Structures are given as C-alpha cells and as structure tokens.
Structure 1
C-alpha cells in the first residue's frame, strides 16, 4: 500500500499506486454496490469481475471505500470480501464522509462520496450502476439524493445506466438541467432507466464515441466549468427488463416501503431487495449486466482521456 504524506488519510493499493506513477488510465468504482446494492456472494463476484473487465480494456480499476477511518483507493480481494460480510459498514455520502474519517469508522461510498474521493485521487472517470436522484413523492418528502449536487460540484464523469427506475426520472432530469450537469446518452436519444433501455424521456445530449465523450469533458475543463457529467449508457438489449414490466414491480416495492415507513438512505436498498424478490432474481441479473457494461465503456473513456 502507498500512503499519501499529506494530512488526508488516504491509501492507494499497490496496483493503483503503480498506475498513478505510470500515468495509466484509472476508473473509480463505488463500494455501496458491495455493501448495500447486491446480496452476498453476487456482490463479491460482481465487484471482482467488473475490476477484471476494466483491466482487460487496458485501464486500472480503483474500488473506493473507507476502512477504519482511512480512504482506500483500490481494494484487495480480501478487503472486498471483508466489506461484503461486515455488518457495521456505514453508507457514506457528502454529509458523513468526514465523520467516518474522524471517528475511525468503516463505510462504503455512494456515488457522491466516490466522486469526492476519486477527485482527490486525481481520477476523472467513474463507473457505477445508476445514480441517485429525486425520489417519487419528493414534493412531500423532500427526498433528493446528494448525488445530484455532487455532479454539479465535483469534476468526475459518471458512467451509469441512467438513474434507478424507482426514482422520479423527469424531476431528476429537471434538477440536473438546473444544476448545469451535462447528461450524455451513448448510442441512444432516450434516457435509460437502469433495468430498461427506455424511460419515456429524452436524453439532453448524445455522443457515441468514447473519444468524443472524453473531448467534451476536456472542453468543460478548459472552459473552467465546475462539476462532472453523466454518461448514460443503456443496459444491453439482451439483458434488459422492459419498462412497463418493471414499473409494476417498482410500484409494489415502493408501496411496501411506504407501509413499513422505510425512509432516508434505507429506501433504495429496501426497494432493490424487494424488486429482486418480485422479479425472482431477474433484476439482479440485469443489474450485474449493466454494471459490467458501464465498466467497459468507462475504461474506454478513461483511455481516451
């Protein structure tokens, strides 16, 4: 492990430290997918397979997590296994990231926290499943993910299959427009809806070549524009669950979450788990496929940068 000499508690795995020294392209990966997004052992196998996909594309994977108050940029297989099975792991975003470091806690990083840590490590490209956004009923609950504001502040490209379809997609797109966050569809004019290739809503921008996406990021940087951008990459057609079919399961899962008074950070993991049960595991298969698809594209963009 390579330890940063500044006052910031950050450690780089040997693989990431070597890549940084050589100027090799690096792709950041979140760890919430390991602790809260998928069940064991699929969470571990997916995390390791995604890292291998990035390596095969010629880039270096950097899964990010907080372990005992230290930012780890790049995890060993043993650390991934530990994260997947510990029951004291916090789910960290911008509001509590610093607390975990000061209090010596361990936590997985959401999109927002991963962006912050990636930026600190000089990593510009990040692959995930789907970003957070405006929750359905937010006009009553005010439940809006910190991911959206982070995208307006932190200069990291986030490759995702759109936003999780359990969210309010049109309101999420409106907030992103207000915050000045570019939303770029890849091979599509329609914004993808995580498990489904279509959401019923247009994607504001479109670029199909990783080199063009990298050029857009570089141009924003040259213009001095703050924040990152979303690269919306639809799930492969062979792996998708049609939008109309998914909506039935989503509504049932959200209804159950409301009945049980599930709130805050627990909503998404609860709904994802219920959807997995309702789809008899099909949603998990699709989730794994889209994460791998995003990792592959992110590696190609990182190389183009």
Structure 2
C-alpha cells in the first residue's frame, strides 16, 4: 500500500496564500492538478491563484478562517461543486505568537490554538465528509519537528502541533478499524524560510527568525506532494535536523530541556531590534484588501537550503535500500575474489 501512487485530480490546500502552502499549491498545479486555495488573505489568494492558472491548471481561491467550522464546511461544498470530487486535502494553515508563555495573553493563546489545531480538525472533518462516502481520498497533515519536541517562545504553536499528532493517530486507528480506503499521513518539517517571521505576533526583544538549519518552502512542498502520492506511510520526516530532534528527544529529553533553555532564546532571534508597532496576522490577515502579497519565501533565503538529501531518501527509501543492498553485495563479491 505504501508504494502505490495515488491518482490526484482535485486538491485542497489550506494556508495557501503564502509560505509552504503556496509552494505546495504551485507544485500541484505544475502537475495539472486543480487546486482549491483556502486562506484568509485576499491579496495572497489572488496572487497564488494566478500562479496556479499560469501553470496551466484550475484554481479556486476561497477566503476562509479555518477556526470557523461553518466557513470550512461551506468551502468544502464549493470545491466539490466547482472543481469536482476532492482527492487530496492538505492541512497547513496556522497562526501563533512568538513570546514566553507568561507573556502570551489567554485570548491570544486560544486564537492560535483554534487556527492551528482546530483548523486541522475542521479541515479533516470536512474532507472526510466528502471522502468517506466514496471510500477514497488522502489527507495530509503538515506538521513540524516541534510536534514532538517543544521549544521555548513557541508554546502555543508547539502545543497545537503536539495535539495534531494525537488527534491524527486516533483518527488513523478509527479508519483502520472501519476498513476505510481514505488515507491520512503526516509530514514533519524542519525550520522553513516563510513570511511567518514578518507577520506573526511577537513580543521578543529582537526580530524573530527560524532555528537553523533553514530550508526553502519548496523543499517542504516536494515532501508534502510526495507524501500525498504515497500516503500509506503514517509519517514523513523532512530534513536531517527534524530526524535528529525527534530521535534525540526520545533518547535524552531532559538533556534537550537544558540545551534549549540555554540556546533557545538566542537561536530564535536576529541581532535586529523588533518593531513592536508593526501589525500582525493573529486576528486579521495582513494580505487582506489593500495589503501586501508576501509570497512563499521569507527573508532568510541567503541562509536557506534548497535541497534536503534526507527528505529525498525518505521518499525513496525502497530504492535507497535496494541501492545499499546492491552495493553491499558488490563489496562482498569483490572481497571474495
């Protein structure tokens, strides 16, 4: 099952107006897949819709707040009516706050949780409402290494990503129990160069930045689309840093606690003072009417990797295993001469 490539004609991408969601929508469009683009910002939605059409595919941009279940329901119905049956639903929308937990207001924490965690729950429920009667389809939950290892200054985000893992594991068991042919898989990402560091609410003294090593959003997009092609695997890890973080947390979580206590504040901030008067997108999109199109990439391209050998090996592990086995046989044969 894990090796079977899925036939995808219509896809839904949440958080499609910028960052990883936008890069993923572009990649799907280049494959001729019709893409429904869900996000809050009209400017970003219109821009990515034009990119999808320029690639020769159909685009359906829909303004949606993923925290509002009824909006998501309406969006799902519109996609089915205008593009056709949904084969693939990718949950990627999120919002958060860069701040120590005690500096994050309760209503801000709740809002970040509703968008990031409940947004995935709402998207998954709507996807299943269309996929289950047909007994086919794939749901991809875009996660993070922080779904397994919390770090300082991102309690709301880490908590939501942890919750998504637990929710998805429960759902997967239920689908297996029902004998369903609907697949659900997860893709855990490393630090990615997206516009989030320019529009998330921050109370840090200096400008927020991703923890190196940093990858371009196109690396994440390739992994997400690869997971959608072969969703029989329960999870994909992208980037060597993701692998090391998750495995190290399993082996020595207390050691990581101390390490992150020493380094986690410094590694998430640049040397530039933060502008605490700049607007943020926690409650309202910054790419709304009259706003700015943020695109897929953030401000850290000069320090970001455009490739991940680990991600490629993860997606092609059977070929990799066969290659290693062939090499081993060749070495043994040479040594016996």
Q: Same fold (TM over 0.5)?
A: no
TM-score range, shorter chain: 0.3 to 0.5
With structure 1 as the length reference, what TM-score do the two structures score?
0.37
With structure 2 as the length reference, what TM-score do the two structures score?
0.35
